[in-house]
Structure 1
Amino acid sequence: ARFSKPFASWSIVPSWDETPMEQLFSRGLEGEYFDNMTLSGTPRATRTDEKIDFEWEGAPISGIGPDNFSVRYRGVLRARTSGTHRFYLTSDDGARMFIDGKLVIDAWYDHGPTTEICSCEMEAGREYEVVVEYYEHTNSATLRLGCIEPKDFDAERLVQMARKGSSAAAVCVSFPTESGEEVEVKIGTSFINFEQARRNLCSEIGDKSFEQLLSDTGEAWEEALGKIRIETSETNREIFYTALQRCMLLPRDITEQGYHYSAFNGKIMPGVMYTDFSLWDTFRSLHPLLVLLEPDRVNAMIEALLNSYDEGGWIPKWPSPGYSNIMHGTHGDAVIADAYVKGLRNYDERKALEAMMKNATTKGTGHYVARVGILDFIRLGYVPTDKYGESAIRTLEFSYDDFCIAQMARAMGDGELYGRMMARAMNYINILDPETRMVRGRNSDGQWRDAKDPSISGWAQGSDRDRETYFRNITLFVPHDVQGLANFMGGNKALEEYLDYFFDNDFYYVGDEYSMHSPYLYNFIGKAWKTQRTIRRLLDYNFTNDSWGLPGNDDCGQMSSWYVMGAMGFYPVCPGIPAYQIGSPVVDRLELSLANGKTFTLIAENNSPENVYIQSAELNGKPYTKCWISHDDIMDGGTLVLRMGSRPNRKWGASAEDILPSVSAPAGE
């Protein structure tokens, strides 16, 4: 940090490092494992560990199942220093902690990944009994114990630490100032080291004033947001551009003058790196939107994913900045395939396909789980519920990711791989239950689980309504074979009735990514007018221009991009297919400035909150009856005119030849 005037005094508040558990628990921590969630009966297994730091994939220990188990750890902590010790207990599902019999952390209930903190005064040399208890209900299993010991520093030591570049929780500086005087502070940051932070300060800010940086930032945002010009009401304008701004925040570039810190191998590496990919969310519409608006950045993001593969062995699922095990599929596959089939190829495509195939064929390491249950998926054609949590959605997502790999293989001319992966892409049918006409868990022996089995989702643990909600939402995640889903249900009419019931009874929630695409599924069965009606209701009702303007978590731009593309009038139901489903635009006119220098224009004539139905359409002056538009049509520029009205035109987009063909081609075709 550089200041515009000298400061009179300064100090730091040092940050304290976590103490290795083996230094506090010299005799380890003895764990007793129970095959129930109540720590009752006789332990089925025991084991002593140096520390508690687990993300269990499958069973935690031989003899105990992956779900509905509990464990009690006991250890003796010998305090090395006197003072306040701070303990951190991270868990997924129920956990509690005792020190000398006193309950100090109580989170004994189902919950998502949560960190509880407590402080305890301890005396140097004294021993304390520490007990940690945990129960796992279903799905993720995480338990981690950490401790920060107290440390004392005198004033001179703090000065020396600051001069040497010690990490700190805060820096305190003071100035003699006149009334109203401003002090300007310029700050440089780096993931690499302090010297790089100083270089970044010079290159990114340098001698520019606060006012100049403010002006430069405004111009940069104007250029970015100006790639889409719209005509609409002022309220819609505010909602649209606020959403578009959020779409451009993440993923973020952490490359520093040609190098990056790698959270995958702990080294400073050459090349580009992006982080904060919320891939389970953002593959759906954020990345397809960036393909249209920021193709150069998309190429760089894919290069970053491949650098992650080189440095850590896998394309990450949710890097922040390193590997995490969040969610189910490996949707870097979808991001890469979608960009590839749309012509973005400024990266090593062979390495990309190699990395995608590793996702599709290789069991994770434990530290990074990749596709949990992938070997059983290959062997059985589905992920078995008796071995893995949330097996139904894993089966559906693995099938979709395999479809994406198939599309890239076909575009690269590998017909054999295309056929093989397309056959696997149809595995989703193996967990669709003919009795309920919805997804349903299956055991390894092929037997169906109970039709109301709450293991369908970690969030479906409440009422029958909660469970039904997730069964119905998850069932619709077959974006790559909508016609196949309709056929399973009994035909297009049956899928139409399913969707009608789904929306009319409020099972749809725009913030639930499983079924974000579902309003557009009517297009695939000749009922485009129902897509138009449904999407406009959702866009107009769920998004506002006030502090409650989003209907839930933005998920790193996914919800905002869902709005932006919906408001523009076309949406990528199935990334990996270079086409977009046409809905009902909120805006009256938009001009999309493309990187190739062309402009795509969409005009919604006679558009209003009441006139949500397409009466007719023209593309470049010629009648257009398709309820979808290809990526090439957009990239070629031109003008799409939609004439809107208050009554549905049930014939527009309804003919079989106007509906995007099914992609469930036979293997090898």
Structure 2
Amino acid sequence: MKKEKNIIGLIILVFLLMGRSAVLAGDKEPVDYVNPYMGNISHLLVPTYPTIHLPNSLLRVYPERNDYTGDVLNGLPLIVTSHRGSSAFILSPYQGEEDNISPIESVSYDFEKLTPYSYSVYLDEQETEIDFGLSHQSAIYNIKFRKNEDSYLIINSTEGGLKWDGESVLGHQIVQSEMGGNQTRIYLFMALNETPSEVFVLKDGELVKKSEATGSDACIVLKFPKGVSELNTRYGISLIDARQAKQNMKREVENASIEELQKKGRSEWNDALGQIDVKGGTDDDKTVFYTSLYRTYERPVCISEGGRYYSAFDGKVHNDNGTPFYTDDWIWDTYRATHPLRVMIEPELEADIINSFIRMADQMDEFWLPTFPEITGDSRRMNSNHGVATIIDAYRKGLHGFNLEEAYKAGKKAVTEKTLAPWSGAPAGELDAFHDKHGYFPALKRGQDEYVPEVQEHEKRQPVPVTLGTAYDEWCLAQIARELGMDDDYNYFRSRAYNYRNLFHPETHFFHPKDIDGNFIEPFDYKRSGGQGAREYYGENNGWVYRWDVQHNIGDLVQLMGGQEEFVDNLDAMFAEPLGVGLKFEFYSQLPDHTGNVGQFSMANEPSLHIPYLYNYGGAPWKTQKRIRKLLDQWFRNDLMGLPGDEDGGGMSAFVVFSQLGFYPVTPGLPMYNIGSPTFREAKVKLPNDKDFKIVTENYSPENKFIQSATLNGESWDKPWFLHKDIAEGGVLRLTMGKYPNKKWGTQKSQAPPSFSLD
């Protein structure tokens, strides 16, 4: 009997150990939750791209196809020039008749597997297997031909030049922003494991025995004999010159295998994503979270190469003096949440980025802070100058590794000397003089033609977002001036930070455009007025969204609307108001950027991101908790249409990261966060001082989305917000959750989040 019991015990132990092993074998690391295909198909706006890259690296690639459902790959990319740009240099493997060779081979494909650090695919007609691994400025393609035929590599540059020098391929491609600016050249150095038997130039469909091609659609063709069934191409990319591209290749990939690159890339991604650890929730919840976090690392990109970098802001090569240089940052989108996220988890990186902004200003003739820096220079897209928000937000949260005075000078000059007209880099003109005198950007009268040269034909004046956005920028300038002890500047910009009041309609409680005579434009429809994209009065979004665009002074907006009850009623009305037309396509044909709708709210565009948190200011935090969880469930999913649309370099994804954690920075520049409703049972944010900030939920379950009570760092907490300093040294926000709202928690006026100042 004793022997039987021992056997039974041994069997149980074996099964327990087997179960434990299975659990360990099934454990996922953070990068395993990333789904680069999430959101690749959007409702109307530019979707996400399945991008292979290391965190904040110059070398980014994604499959060249018309959209995710496209059945054809247009060659293999060597580098993507921007988030929405096409590739510089396309590589096409080919086997077949020479007469059929084209500059870029378009082929159907199968068995595609893509991660943030690797790519593999099978090319159907070519019967070719592709494997890819990359580093920061270099990569390797492994190409296996399955046909017993002559094999070719076709290398294409859209506008530039390519050359076979007897040992390697050298090339350059000219890239220029559609908004003008300096030309940028991307240089290529490519080494092969086999020497071609013949080299051709493809020109006008003819193969010519030459080794150098230049101009539009420059294309060289390398031919290899039948016995060559496998090719390895190791290449480096540079913005400086081909010699530097070669050095980048030799430094990063010359002695590495694809497997080693992929292993190292995986490790780098786990290090970056692992700065936030989440527990609880479903696998889909974690996929949405870590995919969103991965997308915040796609820009800006580090373009320092061996201690030097090429700057399109002055067209010169500079020494970086030990501080890496970053560009390609769409600040209008990323100031809201991406930069604040980086302040929290990557402060050294954020300081380097702000130092890059200051360098850009210094390299430009005007010493203006950039608004939309790309590898081709500052494209001055969108409206306002929100770089000042990234500066004051970082500084007030403890980042002092940059020259605040120089940053202030550049920001002040950008706001006061450059025109406020959207999408323009022109100096200030008559509209800006009017704005300085009257405190608002004027709209054209009904039927009046545009007569101001700095106004861009398609983007129009956008007078409401310009007025509101500039009021916020001037509030940011006031806060920086205060930190610098510049009392006169502080008082001047502080007074101008209230300019949004000049467009507040006292009867409708909307922000309503005025003409040059100070009259509200009439008749008016807050849903539809303003022409294409509502740009004659707003910008991409309608008046319902811009009703809330006073990020720096929500408390004053509450009072303008008549108090907390009216404020909450107006928020409710926005989420309930229908599109107002019989067919959706009528609405979206005019407002294609205003998608992801819940009523008139647009989850798909960045000016809406802070709006769900505004119930906290109106004494109804339970409505913020409900709305955030519903929006996350409705619009962010682990599938091809898992984003509502306008994901600009982490702009929207950072909203998801913060919101799933359970808090959000409504006002960059005020070092505080609004509390929402966390997705996970527990989340741990690793701070740079080797301490952690934890968000822990008691009574956790997916349906328990309402906060019943809270403690912060062990003390009872009854406010729907907290300060950055509460977490900077590590701490715990503990939330007790329930299925039904506690309509007393955080509802007192004295508990509302601060606005304008923490004083």
Which TM bucket (shorter chain)? 0.7 to 0.9
1:537 aligned onto 2:630? yes
Equivalent residue in structure 1 for 2:436, among 359, 362, 378: 378
Matches within 5 A, 1:566-581: 566-581=659-674
The residue aligned with 2:373 is 319
The residue aligned with 1:190 is 238
Q: CA shift at 1:457, angstroms? A: 6.9
Taking the aligned partners of 1:467 and 1:555, their CA distance within structure 2 comes to 16
The residue aligned with 1:446 is 518
Letter in 2 for 1:250: R
The residue aligned with 2:604 is 511
Taking the aligned partners of 1:404 and 1:546, their CA distance within structure 2 comes to 38
Gaps of 5+ in 1: 19-87, 92-149
1:486 aligned onto 2:535? no
1:207 aligned onto 2:255? yes
Equivalent residue in structure 2 for 1:595, among 674, 685, 688: 688
Q: CA shift at 1:274, angstroms? A: 1.7
Q: CA shift at 1:14, angstroms? A: 6.2
CA 1:343–1:430: 2 relative to 1, 3 Å: same
Equivalent residue in structure 2 for 1:397, among 464, 469, 478: 469
Contact 1:529 1:650 survives alignment (8 Å) = yes
Q: CA shift at 1:177, angstroms? A: 5.8
The residue aligned with 1:460 is 534
Taking the aligned partners of 2:414 and 2:654, their CA distance within structure 1 comes to 26
The residue aligned with 2:316 is 267
The residue aligned with 1:416 is 488
Equivalent residue in structure 1 for 2:284, among 227, 231, 235: 235
Letter in 1 for 2:242: F
Q: CA shift at 1:4, angstroms? A: 9.0
The residue aligned with 1:288 is 340
Contact 2:151 2:226 survives alignment (8 Å) = no
The residue aligned with 2:112 is none
Taking the aligned partners of 1:178 and 1:521, their CA distance within structure 2 comes to 67
CA 1:469–1:398: 2 relative to 1, 3 Å: closer
The residue aligned with 1:42 is none
1:429 aligned onto 2:429? no
The residue aligned with 1:477 is 549
Deviations 1:288-338 (A, max 9, x none): 111111111111111111111011132221122212131110111111111
Query: Secondary structure in 2 aligned to 1:459?
Result: helix
Taking the aligned partners of 2:743 and 2:343, their CA distance within structure 1 comes to 32
**TM-score calculated relative to the size of structure 1:** 0.74
Taking the aligned partners of 1:261 and 1:537, their CA distance within structure 2 comes to 45
The residue aligned with 1:608 is 701
CA 1:370–1:456: 2 relative to 1, 3 Å: farther
1:585 aligned onto 2:678? yes
Letter in 1 for 2:490: Y
Q: CA shift at 1:597, angstroms? A: 0.9
Taking the aligned partners of 1:3 and 1:534, their CA distance within structure 2 comes to 46
The residue aligned with 1:246 is 295
Task: Give the number of equivalent residue pairs.
Answer: 532
Query: Secondary structure in 1 aligned to 2:643?
Result: coil
Which one is further off, 356-365 or 490-499? 356-365
Query: Secondary structure in 2 aligned to 1:436?
Result: coil
Letter in 1 for 2:425: Y
Taking the aligned partners of 2:735 and 2:663, their CA distance within structure 1 comes to 12
Q: CA shift at 1:656, angstroms? A: 2.8
CA 1:410–1:176: 2 relative to 1, 3 Å: same
Letter in 2 for 1:476: W
Taking the aligned partners of 2:203 and 2:621, their CA distance within structure 1 comes to 67
CA 1:660–1:8: 2 relative to 1, 3 Å: closer
Matches within 5 A, 1:653-668: 653-663=746-756
Equivalent residue in structure 2 for 1:298, among 336, 339, 350: 350
The residue aligned with 2:390 is 335
Q: CA shift at 1:369, angstroms? A: 3.6
Equivalent residue in structure 1 for 2:266, among 207, 218, 229: 218
CA 1:554–1:177: 2 relative to 1, 3 Å: farther
Query: Secondary structure in 2 aligned to 1:433?
Result: coil
Taking the aligned partners of 1:469 and 1:277, their CA distance within structure 2 comes to 22
Contact 1:627 1:659 survives alignment (8 Å) = yes
Contact 1:276 1:320 survives alignment (8 Å) = yes
Letter in 2 for 1:273: F
CA 1:2–1:277: 2 relative to 1, 3 Å: closer
CA 1:317–1:182: 2 relative to 1, 3 Å: same
Taking the aligned partners of 1:546 and 1:475, their CA distance within structure 2 comes to 32
Taking the aligned partners of 2:428 and 2:292, their CA distance within structure 1 comes to 31
Q: Alignment identity in percent?
A: 36
The residue aligned with 1:45 is none
Matches within 5 A, 1:171-186: 171-176=220-225, 181-186=229-234
Taking the aligned partners of 1:294 and 1:213, their CA distance within structure 2 comes to 24
Letter in 2 for 1:655: Q
Deviations 1:419-477 (A, max 9, x none): 21111110010011112210111112211112526665741389x9x999711101100
Contact 2:558 2:617 survives alignment (8 Å) = no
The residue aligned with 2:168 is none
Contact 1:362 1:375 survives alignment (8 Å) = no
Which one is further off, 616-625 or 216-225? 616-625
Deviations 1:494-519 (A, max 9, x none): 11110011112311121122221011
Contact 1:328 1:371 survives alignment (8 Å) = no
The residue aligned with 2:305 is 256
Taking the aligned partners of 1:638 and 1:224, their CA distance within structure 2 comes to 21
**TM-score calculated relative to the size of structure 2:** 0.65
Q: CA shift at 1:247, angstroms? A: 1.1
Q: CA shift at 1:620, angstroms? A: 1.9
Taking the aligned partners of 1:522 and 1:653, their CA distance within structure 2 comes to 11
Deviations 1:257-314 (A, max 9, x none): 2222111221212224322211111111111111111111111111111111011132
The residue aligned with 2:407 is 352
The residue aligned with 2:647 is 554
Matches within 5 A, 1:106-145: none
Gaps of 5+ in 2: 1-138, 144-149, 162-175, 180-201, 445-451, 456-460, 578-598
CA 1:379–1:650: 2 relative to 1, 3 Å: same
The residue aligned with 1:112 is none
Taking the aligned partners of 1:206 and 1:470, their CA distance within structure 2 comes to 53
The residue aligned with 2:133 is none
Which one is further off, 351-360 or 453-462? 453-462
CA RMSD of aligned residues (A): 3.2
